[in-house]
Chains A and B, each alone.
Chain A
């Protein structure tokens, strides 16, 4: 158990819909990362938050947004869903602050999103 909790574990929804994925980081971790993993794209970095602020952005679509709340949990919002958004979405947390170099990320078990 990594200590990172993601809910829900599975989600099936229709095209055009909006969903929210939730992540609770390890106790004390201030950094939260979101990743998308699909069969043909591997693990793609979406976005990182540190202590409530956005710190780095990857290949995140405009239809997607995220935030980190004062209690450090994070949510990833996916809207106007398309079939191609079907994937595993992972959240990871890190105790190390950006700038310290030795980033070590601990992953949740992921949310499997299926868009039909």
Chain B
């Protein structure tokens, strides 16, 4: 059983559409990160959220940390083919000693 449940597992959308990826857990995290991974490469950090209720924006990407610090969401507005990739959420347990990852969401944006 995954400590962090990510949904959906796969998402195939048209260019210009909006989408949301969810990351849920019953555990409380001291921080939560979102990463993007392309085939054959390591995950690349997009953002870190630390405070419950925090919202961060990175161009067309909006990240939200739940009030109880157990869940997070990633919203992409007007998706582009360049957004295609594997999106991973990761929660820090034990104050940074252990970073656990969700299984990931494979996003494909078609032009």
Contact = CB atoms under 8 A, between A and B. Distances in A.
Given A101-B96, A102-B50, A42 B44 contact: no
27 contacts: A4-B42, A31-B96, A43-B43, A43-B88, A48-B97, A55-B97, A56-B94, A56-B97, A58-B98, A58-B100, A90-B42, A90-B43, A92-B42, A94-B96, A97-B96, A100-B95, A101-B30, A102-B30, A102-B48, A102-B92, A103-B30, A103-B99, A104-B33, A104-B48, A107-B42, A107-B43, A108-B42
Chain A CB within 10 Å, residue with most, of B2, B33, B101? B101
Contact of B99 (A2, A100, A105): A105
B31 interface: yes
Given A43-B88, A101-B31, A102-B50, A2 B42 contact: yes
A2 B38 CA distance: 14
A108 B43 CA distance: 8
A100 B2 CA distance: 24
B61 interface: no
How many chain B residues sit at the interface, stated as a range, is 20 to 34
B59 to A, nearest CB: 19
A45 B98 contact: yes
Contacts of B96: 31, 94, 96-103
Contacts of A105: 33, 45, 90, 99
Interface of B: 2, 30-31, 33, 35, 40-45, 48, 50, 88, 90, 92, 94-104
A45 B101 contact: yes
A45 B98 CA distance: 8
Nearest to B102: A42
A48 B98 contact: yes
A104 B95 CA distance: 12
Given A56-B94, A103-B31, 11 more contacts: A2-B42, A33-B99, A42-B104, A43-B101, A44-B101, A90-B43, A98-B95, A98-B97, A100-B95, A103-B99, A110-B40
Q: Which of B50, B97, B101 has most A Cβ within 10 Å? A: B97
